[in-house]
Amino acid sequence: MLTKRVIVCLDVRAGQVTKGVKFQGNVDLGDPVEYARRYYEQGVDELVFYDITASAEQRSLFIDVVERVAAEIFIPFSVGGGIRDVDTMRTVLLAGAEKVSVNSPAVRNPEIITAGAEAFGAQCIVVGMDAQKVETTKAIPSGYEIVIDGGRTPTGQDALAWAIEAESRGAGEICLNAIDTDGVKQGYELTITRMVSDAVGIPVIASGGGGTPQHLIDAVTTGGADAALIASMVHYGDYTVGSIKADMAQAGVPIR
């Protein structure tokens, strides 16, 4: 049986793990490889490294992190942030990542999804999307709008429609991040998670809001997600990946 995945996301800035709240006010936490190893030993199913800087100088620090992780951590991991085109995808894949996650650039230029899927296979291309709850309108019938640039820029585009388009353009997975719940540990945005999970045939990762094991259980049951992404609930030592997975298994969720 395929198990539900617990994915830990590490935001990396200047070679350090960092964590912000609602995309603002970041705190540096430590060495990404050390963090990765800790979660690996706790039984995490997958890791995501997100480069939250874009300067060329820090980019090379980030690639160095990716290479070190690949040499020491033997589970799949993906890389997001700074993925703009096939060349930036190739750089991180050759450094040892399994998958790349592309967010705002895919909204601006959806062709990038197809180009990536053709070059590396659909399973390599994760489309990350930030969704924000808005009033339901004709243009946004789901009531969730895509926002880009780290939550700063509304696009007027419907989140559900975008998820469907991303799949049709060759995405192998969707990472759905809810802006309103991100970093506040009050649970995932289950409504849009369920809508997207029902509408696409590719795996969906719920992101933004995980604060207790019950939140992850809700994401993969009520939300219909295949995986749940967490960060702060393990970074600060409130929980371990092992304890979260034990609670999920206890609730009947298939877990590795």
Partner 1 sequence: MPRTSLEIAIIDYDMGNVKSIENAIKHICNYSIVVTADHDRIRQADALILPGVGAYRDAMEHLRKRNLIDILNDEALNKKKIILGICLGMQMLFESSEEGGLNKGLGWIPGTVERLNPGGDLRVPHMGWNNIEIAGEPPLLAGLGEEKDFYFVHSYHANCPAEFVTSRFEYGQHYTASVAKGNIMGAQFHPEKSQGNGFTLLRNFVAIVEEAKKGA
Name the residues annotated as catalytic.
Answer: 11, 130
Q: With binding defined as CB under 8 A, does residue 122 bind partner 1?
A: yes
Q: With binding defined as CB under 8 A, does residue 71 bind partner 1?
A: yes
Site string for partner 1, 81-120 (x = CB under 8 A): ------------xxxxxx-------------------xxx
Q: Are 199 and 163 in contact (CB under 8 A)?
A: yes
Closer CB to partner 1, 19 or 169, in the complex: 169
Instruction: Return the range that interacts with partner 1 (CB under 8 A); candidates 20-28, 137-145, 220-228, 231-239.
Output: 220-228
Three-state DSSP at 221 gives coil
Q: With binding defined as CB under 8 A, does residue 242 bind partner 1?
A: no
Q: With binding defined as CB under 8 A, does residue 143 bind partner 1?
A: no
CB of 204 to partner 1, least distance (A): 8
- DSSP letter assigned to residue 73: -
Alpha carbons 89 and 79: distance in angstroms, whole number: 9
Residue 81, amino acid? G
Q: Please, which residues have CB within 8 angstroms of residue 182's CB and are 6 or more apart in sequence?
A: 22, 23, 151, 207, 208, 209
Task: Pick the closest to residue 78 from 143, 126, 20 (CA basis).
Answer: 126
Instruction: Return the range that interacts with partner 1 (CB under 8 A); candidates 26-34, 73-81, 151-159, 188-196.
Output: 73-81
Task: Pick the closest to residue 30 from 22, 41, 38 (CA basis).
Answer: 38
Q: With binding defined as CB under 8 A, does residue 150 bind partner 1?
A: no
Cα 78 to chain centroid, rounded: 9
Give the footprint of partner 1 on this chain (CB under 8 A): 1-5, 40, 45-46, 70-72, 74-76, 93-98, 118-124, 172-173, 201-203, 224, 226-227, 256
